[in-house]
Amino acid sequence: MKRILVTGGAGFIGSAFVRNTLRNYPETHVVVYDKLTYAGNLNNLRDADPARHSFVQGDIADGETLAAAMAACDAVVNFAAESHVDRSIMGASDFIRTNVEGVNTLLAQALKLKVGRVLLVSTDEVYGSTEEGSFKESDPLHPRNPYSASKAGSELFGTAYFETYGLPVVITRGSNTYGPYQYPEKVLPLFVTNAIDNEGLPLYGDGRNVRDWLYVDDHCAGIDCVLRHGTPGEAYNVPGGSERQNIELTRRILELTGRDETLIRPVADRVGHDRRYSIDGAKLRALGWAPNTPWDDGVSSTVRWYQENEWWWRPIKSGEFREYYQRQYGSKT
């Protein structure tokens, strides 16, 4: 693959994918296409070789601009999305516009330009919640919040383009991802940066909801593996293999930042809060992928990164974020 279009490449996972692709494939040029919403940030691409990537600001729902960026690309990898569950609960229109309409536009342009492969980055949340066992790719989708419903929508359009027009679409369903450059609305960077500032950590409900933590570089390696070796029309789970209750995650963050449990603020539960996500990774392991960052190493190096890179998150937390934080948490913390 000589030229890859990475949509949403200025976000958290997309920017890691760009960095890793440039490092692992010296012959590849990457075109990053990103609308730069509140979550997009060109600082995330500061370590990506400027000679080997180009940037186009644009919306995936804008077919004309997107087609110009897609021209001559061998593959498209879509990370562009509205990605935060709590924001989707406040209002779903942006989620439908980008995650469903935007993805439909992207698929239509890829079909017109006969792109050789399209990968849609999706999420384990499309299966919904389960108290026991782990979802396999053949299990039915049962999204339970507006974010996961919109991601399931984008997947269904991907599969429809494969079935109807033969567009070679592959899908990945990754679990909760963590690492450097994650927008501090998500639980891990929110709690780490609040702890650094000695501010409360708003823990939802009883704190016993379970998430399966996946280090960002392992997630990107899984996406790369599916991009190159996945079967068109198929979806692949990308699990972290590190299921933790939120309270365990919270305690670990407090330990690593040298704070005590008096910072924990139990707050009202998220409405419709999915209890546990869990996915089976056998299908992707059969293609040769496995996560290789143990939870303890990943979480400690990630916390250290936020401690050492205040220049990155302080401006974010003082901008649009303040207003969002107030709306979401009020004076609870």
- Annotated catalytic, 124? yes
Q: Which residue has the tokens 């010296």?
A: 26
106 or 263: CB nearest ligand NAD = 106
Which of 82, 125, 155, 212 is labelled catalytic? Answer: 125
151 or 283: CB nearest ligand NAD = 151
Q: Alpha helix (H) ranges present in 25-70? A: 63-70
For 157, the 3-state DSSP assignment is: helix
The DSSP 8-state label assigned to residue 134 in this structure reads -
69 or 190: CB nearest ligand TYD = 190
- Annotated catalytic, 94? no
Of the listed pieces 4-12, 162-170, 199-207, 261-269, which binds ligand NAD according to CB under 6 A? Answer: 4-12
25 or 324: CB nearest ligand TYD = 324
Query: Which one of residues 70, 106, 119, 190 is an interface residue with ligand TYD (CB under 6 A)?
Result: 190
**Rounded to whole angstroms, how far apart are CA atoms 240 and 296?**
12
Minimal distance, residue 59 CB to ligand NAD, in Å: 4
For 319, the 3-state DSSP assignment is: coil
Minimal distance, residue 239 CB to ligand NAD, in Å: 11
- Annotated catalytic, 329? no
Query: Which one of residues 60, 75, 92, 171 is an interface residue with ligand NAD (CB under 6 A)?
Result: 60
Which of 86, 124, 217, 224 is labelled catalytic? Answer: 124
Question: Binds 246, which of ligand TYD, ligand NAD, none (CB < 5 to 8 A, cut-off by type)?
Answer: ligand TYD
Of the listed pieces 21-29, 73-81, 107-115, 131-139, which binds ligand NAD according to CB under 6 A? Answer: 73-81
**Rounded to whole angstroms, how far apart are CA atoms 60 and 110?**
11
**Rounded to whole angstroms, how far apart are CA atoms 183 and 216?**
13
Pairing outcome for strands 75-78 and 235-238: unpaired
Concatenated DSSP letters of 72-91: T-SEEEE--S---HHHHHH-
Whether residue 101 contacts residue 61, with contact meaning beta carbons closer than 8 Å, is answered with: yes
Does residue 210 belong to the site contacting ligand NAD (CB under 6 A)? no
**Of 34, 42, 119, residue with least CA distance to 83:** 34
Binding site for ligand TYD (CB under 6 A): 85-86, 176, 186-187, 190, 202-204, 209, 211, 246, 270
Catalytic (active-site) positions: 124-125, 147
